Structure formats: structure tokens, C-alpha cells
Amino acid sequence: MKLMKKTSYELLKDKEKKQLVKNEEAKMTIYNALPRKEYEQVFMCKTTKEVWHTLIITHQGNSQVKNCTIDLLTQEYEKFSISNEETIDSGFTRFNAIMTSLKYLDPDYSSKNHVKKFLRALLLKWRAKVTTIEEAKNLATLPLEELNGNLKVSEMVLDNDGVASKTTKEKIKSLSLKAKVTREQTSDDSDSKG
């Protein structure tokens, strides 16, 4: 909508009146959705386009800031790995946040290899599962959410096996300690009888 010279509403043509009403409705919709602090930054804007442009600059920065942010997110994506203490779910959430931010700032951004990237980010203890998934599934069509669900189930099994293994090790240690104590008692008994 072009900015018109100040004209009284009555002198406007019907088409111009409709445009003005639509602009005001759109501005009010945006205003109502904004927190007070952001509203105060845009309330002096005359058109919806100005409001929108101001909000974009406020949240994304100018093109230089936007490009720098995209570069940083791309580096973060490329270096992504899951730490030993991190669960599959928290790793997936972090990975998804990076991808979502990249897509938000650069709508043309597309990497068809998200599933492969996530699989490469897993620790060595996951190699057997990764190989199984690579052989059984078409990674090009596998949704990332399905992969996440599959890995979460495997993580629960691994955790359960770890607990069972720990319990077994504790039982073995306890039994060997009991055997050692019994041998010592037997040795003490034979020494005192001799």
C-alpha cells in the first residue's frame, strides 16, 4: 500500500478505504499478539509493512547479522555430536533446534542428510544399532522423528542392560567377598586347631 497524502477519510475512494481498513486490521492483529516491549517499538509505524519490517530487523537483525548467524548455525550443525552424558532425546532436541533455526533464517536451507548426520553424531556404543538401521531402512526417506523413536527404545534397552550388568557384577563381587571371608575363616579355624 502506498503512503498517501493526508486526506480526510470521506474524500477517499472506496478501494482506498478498504485498503486502509485492511491495513488497520492487520496492524491491530499484530499489535495484539506482541508483548508490550515489542509493541512499543512498532506502535509509531504507519503501515503493516513497516511494522513487519521493524519486527524482522528486531528479531533477525540486518542481512549481515542474519548471514553471520546462519554461518554460526551451519558450523554448529556440522560439528554436532552427542556427548556421553547426553540422552538420545536431549541430543535430538538440540539437533532439531539447530535445524529449525537454520530453516527459519534461511528458508532455502536444505540438507537431505539430517538422518545420516544424526547417526554419525552418535557415540561408538551405538555402532551396531547404526549399522542395523543403515541396512534395514532407506535413510533418504526415513523421517528424523522415526529415527529418534527407534533410538530411544534402544537406549532404554541399553540402560536396562547396563543396570542388569551392574547388578550382576555387584552380586559376583559380593559372592567372591563371601568366599574370601569363608576361606579366611576356614584358614583361621585350621590354624587354631593345629
- DSSP 8-class letter at 33: H
Q: What pLDDT, on a 0 to 100 scale, did the predictor assign at position 157?
A: 87
Q: 69 near 37, Cβ under 8 Å?
A: no
Q: 56 near 81, Cβ under 8 Å?
A: no
User: For the segment 124-146, what is each residue's pLDDT rounded down to a tens digit?
Assistant: 989 999 999 999 999 988 998 99
Q: How far apart are CA 179 and CA 2, in angstroms?
A: 92
Strand, helix or coil for residue 5: coil
Q: What pLDDT, on a 0 to 100 scale, did the predictor assign at position 167?
A: 59
Q: What pLDDT, on a 0 to 100 scale, did the predictor assign at position 8?
A: 75
Q: What pLDDT, on a 0 to 100 scale, did the predictor assign at position 65?
A: 82
106: phi then psi, degrees, rounded to nearest 5: -135, 90
Q: 116 near 77, Cβ under 8 Å?
A: no
User: For the segment 10-24, what is each residue's pLDDT rounded down to a tens digit?
Assistant: 777 888 888 888 988
Q: How far apart are CA 122 and CA 120, in angstroms?
A: 6
50: phi then psi, degrees, rounded to nearest 5: -65, -45
* pTM, full prediction: 0.57
Q: Is the pLDDT of residue 58 over 70?
A: yes
Q: Is the pLDDT of residue 36 over 60?
A: yes
Q: 141 near 171, Cβ under 8 Å?
A: no
